Amino acid sequence: MILEPLPLTPDHDLPGPLLTELTALYASNHAFYALSGDFPDPHDIRPEQVAKALADELANPDVEVLQARSAGQLVAVAITLAHHPDPGDPDPWIGLLLVDAAHQGKGHGRQLAARIEDRFREAGRDAVRLAALDNNPGAFAFWTTIGYKTIGHRKDRQLGRPCAVLRKILN
């Protein structure tokens, strides 16, 4: 798996072919987006919606959007946050880890999570956090299976959705 930041045009836009790939990846996860409410119609996710969502994320200098490719094909995307807005929170965060539905169950999610953890470890960070929507037991099961522990519950900062906050110590 090749993991790298999203390449942007000189105008800080997504190249057209990449936006097409990202839109297909997001659209393949309509079940997740039905739970999250991030898009008005989870069965009709459009390129301009994905471009706006990613532009909003990238407006924060602490955010990195990573693409994961296997055999040249986009299989996953991840959004990480180096510093949480809460000054009492010392950990970086995984804001999103999304595997193309056609590639789920093949180990890409585990591999991507491990690569993100390695990146944070190499940057001198000793733990990482994330929030899993309370209405998404599949995500909760995935994260706890790979070593994340629940440390609390709260509403997410974006839409006020109930979430479990999970943390993993990076040894």
Mean pLDDT, residues 69-92: 93
- pLDDT tens digits, residue range 92-118? 999 999 999 999 999 999 999 999 999
CATH classification of the domain holding 141: 3.40.630.30
88 pLDDT exceeds 90? no
Say how far residue 17 (Cα) sits from the centre of its chain. 20
**Domains: count for the chain:** 1
> What are the DSSP E strand ranges found in the chain?
2-5, 63-70, 73-81, 93-99, 127-133, 149-155, 162-169
Nearest to 120 by CA among 147, 85, 91: 91
Confidence of residue 24 (pLDDT cuts 50, 70, 90): very high
pTM of the entire predicted model: 0.94
Confidence of residue 14 (pLDDT cuts 50, 70, 90): very high
Which residue range is the domain that position 73 belongs to? 2-169
Pairing, β 73-81 against β 63-70: antiparallel
DSSP letter (8 states) at residue 7? P
> Rounded CA gap, 109 and 44, in Å?
24
134, 156 contact by CB (below 8 A): no
Confidence of residue 11 (pLDDT cuts 50, 70, 90): confident
19 pLDDT exceeds 90? yes
- pLDDT tens digits, residue range 51-76? 999 999 999 999 999 999 999 999 99
Mean pLDDT, residues 115-134: 96
Q: Helix or strand or coil: residue 147?
A: coil
52, 153 contact by CB (below 8 A): no
What pLDDT score does 87 carry? 85
Confidence of residue 12 (pLDDT cuts 50, 70, 90): confident
Confidence of residue 152 (pLDDT cuts 50, 70, 90): very high
For the chain, the distance separating the N- and C-terminal CA atoms, rounded to the nearest angstrom, is 22
161, 57 contact by CB (below 8 A): no
What value does the mean pLDDT of the chain take? 94
- pLDDT tens digits, residue range 140-149? 999 999 999 9
